[in-house]
């Protein structure tokens, strides 16, 4: 792994022409190199109730047919399809009831049917179910046997019956490897009688903030200082991915302090994420330190917010056993830029490194409620509020001022309004691309 390096196509020097897609491609290329080794192949077994948001390491195969037997798809009346009359109405005698979990063991004669509940096993002599609401009870005759009638064309022979193995055949893939497990996946596994899952091990991600102006919570601010918010945003983002987070605190703008912090973090972490210190200021020492510790590119990306970013690998620490190649992300210092660059680059890289198959959330579209200013030549991620208008249409509006230091614009938003590289000003009523922050499942 010590030979791993940035792609030859990835710019190692400060570059102002890198697009968002070029940046993603360079990151993905290096992650693929890391995955070619066995350093990230470790798996573990977890109890089903601990599987949420973990990445499934191997296919879950169904040990049973689902459903396990033919059953009724709804409440109604089960009968032989051959009983359907050639005339306008079909009449049948109701001679019993079949409940879920209580199979019918009797027999049916011609012209008879059974009242049946959703999920109840289909009697062997029946192949069709007429929904209850499509039937009409007939007055009781002298024999006091319940009778129903319904329009003969209301149902076809074999309809409303769920066949054995229709959802899943025994031995088929129920949940594919690489899936980020959702609540519905856990429920599916439970329905198959599976109580443990094999998942990829959690990545260990170290985070730190750099800057002499930063103060920890609980300390009074002096002139020119600010509280460090970036680590708390990053902790939240990483915890939602179900990763192990190592908090390395605040590091002063000092080359020796930064070098020591990165070296210590590399002993424990698969990935290091720092915020601050990646621009061209005199006190931004991250670039200097990274030239000593690894192969790291410092890029200017054609995007807003989040233009400066560093990315690469740290060399294994001398005498480290086993040697560990650590992925490094140096994010901007502005609070919104940290979150935007994380969402657009870091999150997908972490998921890729974890073995996930779905790396990025899908785009949807909404109608811009008002005009949005945009210069061509860069991708913009404006913070937006997606809502349903009075006419039922999906609308989106910006949260207000979009400055990279205004964290409130992220707190109030529920989506990104994604304005493409070549896109210009947006007029009210135009369709725009949107990425939701939260998923329903």
Question: How far apart are the C-alpha atoms of 398 and 384, rounded to whole Å?
Answer: 4
- 20-42+202-353 against 71-162: fold identical: no
Please say if the pLDDT value at position 439 is more than 80: no
- For residues 27 and 2, the model is more confident at 27
If pLDDT is split at 50, 70 and 90, which confidence band does 321 have? low
Place of tokens 């980020």: 180
Please say if the pLDDT value at position 89 is more than 90: yes
Is 346 in contact with 324 (CB distance < 8 Å)? no
Question: How far apart are the C-alpha atoms of 8 and 316, rounded to whole Å?
Answer: 21
If pLDDT is split at 50, 70 and 90, which confidence band does 167 have? very high
Please tell me the predicted confidence (pLDDT) of residue 110.
94
Q: Which residues of 304-335 are buried (b: 16+ CB within 10 A; e: fewer)?
A: bbbbbbbbbbbbbbeeeeeebbbbbbbbbbbb
In 67-182, which residue ranges form alpha helices assigned H by DSSP?
none
**Which range, 12-26, 27-41, 236-250, 281-295, is most confident?**
236-250
- Per the document, the length of the chain is 441
Please tell me the predicted confidence (pLDDT) of residue 3.
45
Residue-averaged pLDDT of the chain:
90
> CATH for 364-436?
2.40.340.10
According to CATH, the topology of domain 20-42+202-353 is Molybdenum Cofactor Biosythetic Enzyme; Chain A (3.40.980)
Is 311 in contact with 26 (CB distance < 8 Å)? yes
Please tell me the predicted confidence (pLDDT) of residue 14.
46
**Domain ranges for the chain:** 20-42+202-353, 71-162, 364-436
Q: Give the residue-averaged pLDDT of 226-236.
A: 94
How many Cβ atoms sit within 10 Å of the Cβ of residue 21? 10
Please tell me the predicted confidence (pLDDT) of residue 322.
67
Q: Give the residue-averaged pLDDT of 3-22.
A: 61
Is 2 in contact with 315 (CB distance < 8 Å)? yes
Please say if the pLDDT value at position 13 is more than 60: no
pTM of the model: 0.86
Tokens for 176, please give them.
């594919």
Is 186 in contact with 49 (CB distance < 8 Å)? yes
Model pLDDT for residues 349-362, shown as the tens digit of each residue:
999 999 999 998 88
Q: Give the residue-averaged pLDDT of 234-250.
A: 95
Q: Give the residue-averaged pLDDT of 262-266.
A: 93
If pLDDT is split at 50, 70 and 90, which confidence band does 25 have? very high
Please say if the pLDDT value at position 341 is more than 60: yes
Q: Which residues pair with 380 in a beta bridge?
A: 304, 419
Q: What DSSP designation does 386 have?
A: E
Which CATH superfamily is 71-162 part of?
Molybdopterin biosynthesis moea protein, domain 3. (2.170.190.11)
Please say if the pLDDT value at position 11 is more than 50: no
Q: Give the residue-averaged pLDDT of 385-399.
A: 95
Is 119 in contact with 78 (CB distance < 8 Å)? no
If pLDDT is split at 50, 70 and 90, which confidence band does 403 have? confident
- For residues 317 and 160, the model is more confident at 160
């Amino acid at each position: 792994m010590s030979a791993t390096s940035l792609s030859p196509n990835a710019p190692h020097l400060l570059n102002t022409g890198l697009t968002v897609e070029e940046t993603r491609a360079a990151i993905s290329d290096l992650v693929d190199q890391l995955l070619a080794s066995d350093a990230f192949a470790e798996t573990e077994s977890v109890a089903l109730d601990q599987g949420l948001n973990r990445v499934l390491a191997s296919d879950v195969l169904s040990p049973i047919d689902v459903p396990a037997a033919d059953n009724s798809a709804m409440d109604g009346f089960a009968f032989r399809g051959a009983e359907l009359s050639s005339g306008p109405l079909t009449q049948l005698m109701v001679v019993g009831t079949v409940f879920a979990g209580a199979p019918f063991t009797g027999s049916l004669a011609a012209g008879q049917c059974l009242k049946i509940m959703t999920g109840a096993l289909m009697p062997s002599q029946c192949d069709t179910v007429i929904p209850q609401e499509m039937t009409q009870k007939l007055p009781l005759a002298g024999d006091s046997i319940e009778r129903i009638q319904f329009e003969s064309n209301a149902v076809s022979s074999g309809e409303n019956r769920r066949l054995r193995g229709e959802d899943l055949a025994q031995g088929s893939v129920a949940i594919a490897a690489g899936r980020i497990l959702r609540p519905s996946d856990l429920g599916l596994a439970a329905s198959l009688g599976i109580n443990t899952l094999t998942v990829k091990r959690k990545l260990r991600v170290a985070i730190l903030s750099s800057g002499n102006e930063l103060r920890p919570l609980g300390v009074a601010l002096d002139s020119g200082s600010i509280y460090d918010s970036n680590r708390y945003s990053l902790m939240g983002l990483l915890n939602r991915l179900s990763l192990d987070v190592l908090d390395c605190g605040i590091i002063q703008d000092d080359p020796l302090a930064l070098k020591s912090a990165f070296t210590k973090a590399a002993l424990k972490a698969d990935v290091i994420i720092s915020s601050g210190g990646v621009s061209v200021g005199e006190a931004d020492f991250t670039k200097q330190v990274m030239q000593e510790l690894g192969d790291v590119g410092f890029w200017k990306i054609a995007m807003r917010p989040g233009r400066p970013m560093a990315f690469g690998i740290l060399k294994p620490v001398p005498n480290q056993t086993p040697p560990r190649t650590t992925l490094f992300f140096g994010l901007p210092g502005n609070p919104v830029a940290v979150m935007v660059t994380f969402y657009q680059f870091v999150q997908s890289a972490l998921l890729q490194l974890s073995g996930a198959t779905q790396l990025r959330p899908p785009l949807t579209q909404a109608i811009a409620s008002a005009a949005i200013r945009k210069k061509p030549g860069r991708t913009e991620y404006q913070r937006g509020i997606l809502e349903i208008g009075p006419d039922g249409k999906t609308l989106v509006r910006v949260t207000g001022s979009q400055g990279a230091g205004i964290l409130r614009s992220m707190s109030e938003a529920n989506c990104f309004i994604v304005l493409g590289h070549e896109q210009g000003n947006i007029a009210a009523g135009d369709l725009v691309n949107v990425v939701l922050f939260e998923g329903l499942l």
